[in-house]
Structure 1
């Protein structure tokens, strides 16, 4: 195969209430709303498009891993441990449901958080070296 996948451009997140969820992402995560109708909202967040897609009833993007634990499907990155700790504190002040900062046995630290609809996400303190180089981030 000669072609390769370069990046993730769009992530689709199931939500029951597009209006409330899009407001939550804009207010709590500082996402930029670029489009909204009754069926979906398109947000700009973390260098990609996030589509909040209306579903029938309660659904999330979470899954259960082989140990029986609920697992996230998406990890956001921040630039360093201090940034992670600051974001964790900020999320708690915004009344976002968050887990503790964890040492998972690899470089950096992580914590998880839930959106308004119960979708689980991860935040990692290690910004990708390729991303840092491309955008000249120290």
Structure 2
């Protein structure tokens, strides 16, 4: 059975991702310093991070120890993947800044990947693929 999806009212993409942080101001500074995001919409317990005029992350102050990751067979897995046009340059820059990153993994036709952890232990994936075009 084929769904009849209208061209109106469709989901067009993901607007931003919400992640928990123990120290919102410190986390916002870390993200802007390491990724060049700009902080907007400061609230008492949250701040939005943008790339130019596009929202990327929303940091939410949380005293709960849950973080943005889950486990599969005991191994931490990420829930957010960032896309880059130069994974080696980004990887080297983050390493030089002391960011906890994994080695770059070349997965053939699936592209290149590495993971990183932010100050709160939230886990993220970074992906580069020369044959995929993302609109952002």
- TM-score in terms of structure 2 length: 0.84
Larger gyration radius, structure 1 or structure 2:
2
Larger helix proportion of the pair: 1
Pairing 1:108–2:111 present = yes
CA contact (8 A) 1:14 1:55 kept: yes
SS of match in other structure, 2:125: strand
Note the C-alpha offset of 1:37. Answer: 2.8
- CA deviation vs aligned residue, 1:37-80 (integer Å, no higher than 9, x gap): 33101110384341100112322110012x2210000111112x
- 1:116-135 paired onto structure 2 within 5 Å: 116-126=119-129, 128-131=132-135
Larger strand proportion of the pair: 2
1:39 alignment counterpart: 45
Counterpart pick for 1:7 among 8, 13, 28: 13
Counterpart pick for 1:26 among 26, 32, 35: 32
SS of match in other structure, 1:21: helix
Query: Stretches of 4+ moved more than 3 A in 1?
Result: none
- TM-score in terms of structure 1 length: 0.83
CA distance in structure 2 between the partners assigned to 1:106 and 1:72 by the alignment = 21
Q: Give the aligned length.
A: 128
